[in-house]
Amino acid sequence: DVKVTQSSRYLVKRTGEKVFLECVQDMDHENMFWYRQDPGLGLRLIYFSYDVKMKEKGDIPEGYSVSREKKERFSLILESASTNQTSMYLCASRSPLGGANVLTFGAGSRLTVL
Amino acid sequence: DAKTTQPPSMDCAEGRAANLPCNHSTISGNEYVYWYRQIHSQGPQYIIHGLKNNETNEMASLIITEDRKSSTLILPHATLRDTAVYYCIVRAIDTGRRALTFGSGTRLQVQP
């Protein structure tokens, strides 16, 4: 089975700190995604990457950047964390199964910014 | 992507079948129906998908009506661990450069 591993399950950071959220998948998938999930707002796409060093903005990229130096790793970076970035962050990897939209998600990283 | 409509919540007794409906009356011929679920504080989990034929896997069955305007996800013997939010998503096969859009889903509560 595909496994998507997010480095930290829970993080607490202070306003202005730089935050790195790491995501690793073990099945050589080309597509990887970062979402955030907030009560009442559902899952919203921040960024996605369709290949190494390739990225595209999602619906809410402001305040975030990403890095994909290796195929298996997709990092989300908060350059200067703010309290409105307190959220659950979810990484996903896309199966190439015939072009189907089968995503495998990590367990999530719950970030609190004080 | 076609819009989907799901009931906000449902209850089911443990051991009984859970039947979760989804309406997608504007579905196009090339759009698939996908089901995911999200157990509290975890990432969403893919369950099943189909185009027009009924599908079954180890987790669930997917029944799609002949006109494809609605579908039902069936968990044949619900357990307490099936308590989750279930999302129905309609989407065509594509390059994957657009993200899946998750609506508000159906919150299924399995009762002991």
pLDDT at residue B18 greater than cutoff 80:
yes
pLDDT for B93 equals: 76
DSSP state of A6: E
- Token look-up 């089901």 returns B35
pLDDT at residue B94 greater than cutoff 80:
no
A15 HSE (CA, 13 A, CB side):
4
Beta pairing class for A19-25 and A10-13 = unpaired
H-run or E-run covering A104:
strand A103-105
| Cα gap A18→B109, rounded to integer Å | 39
Scanning B24-63 for CB atoms below 8 A from A yields: 32, 34, 36, 41-46, 49
pLDDT at residue A2 greater than cutoff 70:
no
Please compute the mean of the pLDDT values over residues B91-111 and round it to a whole number: 82
Mutate to test the interface with B, among A2, A8, A103 (most CBs of B within 10 A): A103
pLDDT for A68 equals: 97
| Cα gap A33→A90, rounded to integer Å | 8
What digits encode the pLDDT tens for the residues A38-84?
Answer: 988 888 999 999 889 999 999 899 999 999 999 999 999 999 999 99
| Cα gap B99→B88, rounded to integer Å | 14
Q: How distant is the alpha carbon of residue A73 from its chain centre?
A: 10
pLDDT at residue B1 greater than cutoff 80:
no
Any CB–CB contact under 8 A between A51 and chain B?
Answer: no
Contact A22, A6 (CB under 8 A): yes
Residues from chain B that touch A107, judged by Cβ atoms under 8 A, are 42-43
